[in-house]
């Protein structure tokens, strides 16, 4: 059995290494690719995808899994919490997802995604949802078909959610979101009615090179290991890579230094998680992340709970002023801190502050549910979007571009993905209160520029677990409570009420 297990691990490792090569090609495409080299890159990516699929669908993996599962069912020697059991369980999930989908279906979905992406971009440019609607119809149909192939035919939206957040389902999310909405809407309304407003004139002419130095210092102090990673520039910030080589990106705008800084910190959160996964278990589920929601909890915790705190700015404000003395000469500490924690509603999710952000997700989750249930027709989506936008954000999009067409996700058929963002916010807040209880005086560390106790705690309790737990089990195990939106609500109130109310 141990031999079968070793052979399984070697096979999984092979799939993983091919994935890291494809990941590097993807990073390079966003960061380095010359303007007219994209056809060649597409050929390389297509071949890599073919090789990855062949490695992941290797019948030998199926045979080894069957053997190991049989051994376990017959009593075996493997206990419930054993690493081997986790690896077999998760590898089975991955394997089924690869082999139960016919090759033709996968190819068809790839073709649709490519066509739908271009269709979405064109529709967005013209702000005309009807041009994108047929692609979305097809994606919805294929998402249901995909769920059926995997044995989730009666719960296609739950399948979509489980793909991103293992063990999670629409009913659970719905209950969490109802409770969140109840507490969040009054807070948002109260802040909207507040006369307090952040100064809008602070950030002008912050030279990019100094921004780069500052965010390097910040991300290094937070704990990102630049001997096993780097940060570069791309159109949209992202974090890619695995194990010993994590590649983050940001973007620079001399008139918007907070965008670079906070997007870099956000990606640093993702990067710290990936750097914290056990390196000696790379390529096995125990060396892989636990899903989108948990991943997002790490990026949000560092971006919001940590880096929008007074303690963080107590340490970094003098450093920022050193880099930009003239630009900040007329800005008080309180004005700077308010600017970092600016709250104002916007139609666009990615421009949203962290208070409004969750409302953007509630909107999308609600609409995805209705689309999957058949209650809402694709043709009626823009009207439904606009109505919900008015209800939740108090703003109505003046065009599809500002509303239903703003996000790229649906063009790739990525349903069930949006909820992860909000789950990540909830998990981040719940972890935040847990670690503060476990480690009194944590914010005093921050005020001295020391984030190592927090990182150490996250390493032990979250990062080093890999895929051992599903989303809810991880939260329960680490925090000793079921996942609840109450910590997120409490965090938001504690941060924003003193500033605005």
17 binds its own copies (CB under 8 A): yes
6 binds its own copies (CB under 8 A): no
Q: Number of helices (H) and strands (E) in the chain: give both, helices first.
A: 20, 3
Q: Among residues 8, 9, 48, 478, which is the contact residue for its own copies, using CB under 8 A?
A: 48
Q: Among residues 93, 126, 216, 228, which is the contact residue for its own copies, using CB under 8 A?
A: 228
Q: Among residues 130, 226, 444, 448, which is the contact residue for its own copies, using CB under 8 A?
A: 226
At 154, is the secondary structure helix, strand, or coil? coil
195 binds its own copies (CB under 8 A): no
Task: Give every CB contact of residue 124 below 8 A, 6+ residues apart in sequence.
Answer: 132, 400, 401, 405, 406
**Beta-strand relationship, 229-233 and 239-242:** unpaired
407 binds its own copies (CB under 8 A): no
The two structure tokens encoding residue 455: 């990182």
Asked if 108 is an active-site residue, the reply is: no
The residue from 90, 146, 240, 267 that is catalytic is: 267
21 binds its own copies (CB under 8 A): yes
- Of 41 and 453, the one with the shorter C-beta distance to its own copies is 41
At closest approach, how far in Å is the CB of 214 from its own copies? Answer: 20
Q: Among residues 36, 80, 201, 280, which is the contact residue for its own copies, using CB under 8 A?
A: 36
At closest approach, how far in Å is the CB of 129 from its own copies? Answer: 34
Distance CA 319, CA 316 (A): 5
Binding mask 237-276 for its own copies (x = CB under 8 A): ------xxx-------------------------------
The two structure tokens encoding residue 430: 């719940």
- The DSSP output letter for 303 is I
What is the chain's Cα-based Rg? 23
33 binds its own copies (CB under 8 A): yes
> The dihedral of CA 372, 373, 376, 378: what is its sign?
positive
Residue whose C-alpha is closest to residue 426's, from 181, 61, 139: 181
At closest approach, how far in Å is the CB of 110 from its own copies? Answer: 18
Binding mask 278-317 for its own copies (x = CB under 8 A): ----x-----------------------------------
Q: Phi/psi at 294 (nearest 5 deg)?
A: -65, -40
Alpha helices in 57-82 (DSSP H): 59-73
104 binds its own copies (CB under 8 A): no
Q: How far is CA 308 from CA 107, 185, 305, 486, in A?
A: 44, 21, 6, 19
Q: Which residue has the tokens 């009207």?
A: 383
Could you list the active site residues?
267
Residues lying near its own copies in the complex (CB under 8 A) are found at 14, 17-18, 20-21, 24-25, 28, 32-37, 39-41, 43-44, 47-48, 51, 225-230, 243-245, 282
């Amino acid at each position: 059995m141990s031999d079968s297990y070793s052979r399984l691990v070697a096979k999984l490792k092979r799939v993983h290494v091919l994935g890291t090569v494809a990941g590097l090609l993807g990073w390079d495409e966003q960061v380095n690719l010359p303007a007219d080299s994209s056809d060649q890159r597409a050929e390389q990516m297509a071949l890599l995808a073919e090789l990855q699929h062949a490695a992941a669908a290797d019948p030998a993996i199926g045979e080894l899994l069957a053997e190991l599962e049989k051994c376990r069912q017959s009593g075996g020697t493997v206990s419930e919490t054993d690493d081997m059991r986790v690896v077999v369980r998760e590898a089975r999930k991955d394997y089924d997802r690869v082999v139960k989908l016919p090759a033709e279906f996968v190819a068809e979905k790839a073709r649709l995604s490519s066509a739908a992406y271009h269709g979405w971009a064109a529709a967005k440019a013209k702000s005309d949802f009807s041009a994108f609607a047929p692609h979305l119809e097809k994606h919805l149909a294929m998402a249901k078909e995909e769920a059926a192939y995997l044995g989730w035919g009666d719960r296609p939206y739950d399948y979509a959610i489980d793909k991103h957040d293992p063990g999670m389902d629409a009913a659970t999310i719905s209950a969490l979101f109802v409770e969140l909405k109840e507490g969040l809407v009054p807070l948002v309304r109260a802040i909207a009615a507040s006369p307090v407003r952040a100064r809008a004139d602070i950030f002008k002419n912050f030279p990019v090179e100094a921004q780069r130095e500052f965010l390097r210092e910040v991300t290094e102090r937070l704990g990102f290991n630049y001997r096993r990673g780097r940060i570069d520039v791309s159109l949209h910030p992202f974090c890619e890579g695995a194990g010993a080589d994590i590649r983050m990106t940001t973007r620079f705008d001399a008139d918007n230094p907070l965008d670079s800084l906070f997007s870099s910190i956000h990606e640093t959160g993702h990067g710290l998680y990936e750097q914290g996964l056990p390196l000696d278990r790379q390529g096995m589920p125990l060396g892989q992340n636990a899903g989108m929601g948990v991943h997002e909890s790490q990026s949000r915790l560092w971006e919001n709970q940590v880096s929008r705190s007074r303690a963080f700015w107590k340490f970094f404000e003098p450093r920022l002023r050193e880099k930009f003395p003239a630009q900040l000469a007329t800005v008080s500490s309180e004005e700077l801190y308010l600017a970092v924690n600016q709250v104002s509603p916007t139609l666009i999710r990615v421009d949203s502050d962290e208070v409004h952000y969750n409302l953007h997700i509630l909107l999308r989750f609600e609409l995805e549910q209705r689309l999957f249930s058949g209650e809402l027709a694709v043709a009626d989506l823009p009207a439904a979007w606009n109505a919900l936008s008015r209800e939740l954000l108090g703003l109505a999009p003046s065009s599809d571009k500002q509303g239903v067409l703003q996000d790229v996700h649906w063009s790739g058929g990525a349903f069930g993905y949006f909820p992860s963002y909000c789950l990540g916010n909830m998990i981040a807040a719940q972890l935040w209160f847990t670690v503060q209880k476990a480690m009194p005086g944590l914010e005093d560390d921050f005020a001295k520029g020391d984030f190592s106790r927090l990182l150490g705690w996250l390493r032990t309790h979250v990062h080093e677990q890999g895929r051992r737990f599903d989303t809810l089990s991880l939260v329960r195990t680490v925090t000793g409570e079921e996942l609840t939106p109450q910590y997120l609500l409490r965090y938001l109130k504690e941060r924003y009420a003193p500033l605005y109310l």
